[in-house]
Structure 1
């Protein structure tokens, strides 16, 4: 089987979508499936990861030639707002565009049940839920970096941390204000700042954050974030899945998350702590190292089903079905 696995704007897109694509390509190599990174129509299937204009053009051509089209639904109008400058203005017209272009596919891959429920309002194209997955090999040996990264960013145990692009949608204001109300704890957000792409409110929150709140900027070895952090804090308002959450769980970190539909697969009090209100009580409870270890162990166990070998089999099944 030969798959044309195309990621439009690959040189410019970072964050969760990029990590998902890297995971997919690693899965294809493990499965021994021949893959091309360019949108070739001499393949058994065309797999598109971002429905930009070039991807749409090839999807239309593929349909006329009888080549099955698979599209990943990484982008929705719902999670597009409160991200970078101008994304709020673009979110409204984005939905009818996505309704049309997702309808060009023969099969859609959704990273979560929540994402699938959104997409089923866009189009009647058949959907399959396959997690973005977590690459445990990428994170191997993270613990050895603890001293280096704690010293680099002057962080003390227990450090409350987040990983990924610093976006308002991901609960930036909650993160900053929680840090302000809990000055006895260190808070660290590991991930690109991209100030030129940020709106005025986002930059105000970053610049006005308290002394115990650190924004590291881009971290070349992301294992350092999981080494220096103790409690993963993810107060995001909207998420299709959350690769950083899966990574934190797989490295045995307890997670504190906002109680939103996306995280319905998590069990409050067992493999995470959830709340729809203030997060102080939950973070206060995780000052206890025994409670952190208990939740972290359960979180790692839950993350087993998201490991790449499991998601690889699911991806292969989709390819076989459409081909």
Structure 2
């Protein structure tokens, strides 16, 4: 079986979507499947990761030729807003476009049960939930970088941290306000800033953040973030899954998350702490609880155990089964 595994805008898209594609191709390398990263109709399955106009063009022609189309549903109108400049304005017309695009697929791959429930309102195509997974090998040896990254960014334990693009949707306002309310704790957000792409409000939040709130920008070795951070604080308002969250779990870091539907599979008090979506006070209380190293260790150990189900080796066979089903 040959797969055309296409990622439109591959040279421009970063963040979780790119990581998911990297994970998929690493899984494909370990399976008994041939694949090309070029869009081609000389394949048994056409698999597109981002439904841009070129992907839609190929998907239509693949269907005309009887070639099954698989598409990942990384993008929804719901999670597109409050990201970069102009994304709020584009989120409204994005929905009807995605409804038509996703409707071309013979099978839609959703990264979470929450995303699947959203996508079921977009298109009638069959959906299946396959996690983006976590590359455990990528994180190996992260502990050895702790001293280097703490010194580089002047961080003291326990450091509250987050990993990923700095965007408002991921809870930027809450993160900054928490740093302001808890001046005795260090806060660090590891990830690209791209201020030229940010809206005015996002830029203001970053520039006016307190001294104990560090925005590192791009880091050359993401393992350093998980080495220097102690409490993974993820107050995101909307998420399809969250690869960084899975990585934090794999690194044995305790999670503090907003209690949104995406994280319904996490157990409050067992592998994370959850805060109802009602302002900052709940996060302040939870972080004060997490200054207790015993609680951090217990939640982090449970999170690490739970993360094993998301390893690439555990996820890979789900893709093979899907390809065999549609082909």
TM-score per shorter chain, which class? over 0.9
Residue matched to 2:49: 49
Q: Which residue of 2 aligns with 1:225?
A: 225
Give the structure 2 partner of residue 296 of structure 1: 300
Following superposition, which runs of at least 4 residues in structure 1 exceed 3 angstroms of deviation?
Answer: none
Partner SS state of residue 189, structure 1? strand
Give secondary structure in 1 for the equivalent of 2:79. Answer: coil
The alpha-carbon deviation at position 54 of structure 1 amounts to 0.5
CA drift at 1:139: 0.5
Aligned length: 323
Q: Give secondary structure in 1 for the equivalent of 2:109.
A: strand
Deviation at 1:220, TM superposition (A): 1.3
Match of 1:283 in 2: 287
Moved more, 270-279 or 75-84: 270-279
Distance 1:301 1:313 in 2: 20
Does residue 169 of structure 2 align to residue 165 of structure 1?
no
TM-score normalised per structure 1:
0.99
**What is aligned with 1:312?**
316
Distance in 2 separating the partners of 1:109 and 1:18? 15
Q: Which runs of 5+ in 1 are unaligned?
A: none
Question: Following the alignment from structure 1 to structure 2, what is the Cα–Cα distance between the partners of residues 228 and 320?
Answer: 43
Secondary structure of 2:77's counterpart equals coil
Matched, 1:236 2:236: yes
Alignment TM-score, normalising by the size of structure 2: 0.98
Query: Alignment partner of 1:318: what SS?
Result: helix
1:270 equivalent in alignment to 2:270: yes
Which residue in 1 is equivalent to 2:196? 196
Following superposition, the deviation at residue 288 of structure 1 comes to 1.0
Residues 246-275 of structure 1: per-residue CA shift (max 9 Å, x gap): 000011000000000000000000000001
SS at match of 2:84: coil
Residue 29 of structure 1: aligned partner: 29
| Alignment RMSD (CA, Å) | 0.5
In structure 2, C-alpha distance between the alignment counterparts of 1:147 and 1:139, rounded to whole Å:
16
1:187 corresponds in structure 2 to 187
Instruction: Tell me which moved more, 271-280 or 248-257.
Output: 271-280
Q: Distance in 1 between matches of 2:37 and 2:106?
A: 20
CA distance in 2, matches of 1:91, 1:113: 22
- CA shift at 1:32, angstroms? 2.9
Partner of 2:84: 84
Alignment partners' CA distance in 1, 2:46 and 2:287: 45
Alpha-carbon deviation of 1:290?
Answer: 1.1
In the TM superposition, residue 162 of structure 1 has moved relative to its aligned partner by 0.2
For residues 74-153 of structure 1, the aligned pairs below 5 Å read: 74-153=74-153
Partners of 2:285 and 2:3 in 1: CA distance: 49
**Mapped partners of 2:288, 2:79: distance in 1:** 30
Q: Distance in 1 between matches of 2:204 and 2:73?
A: 32
Q: Distance in 1 between matches of 2:311 and 2:19?
A: 14
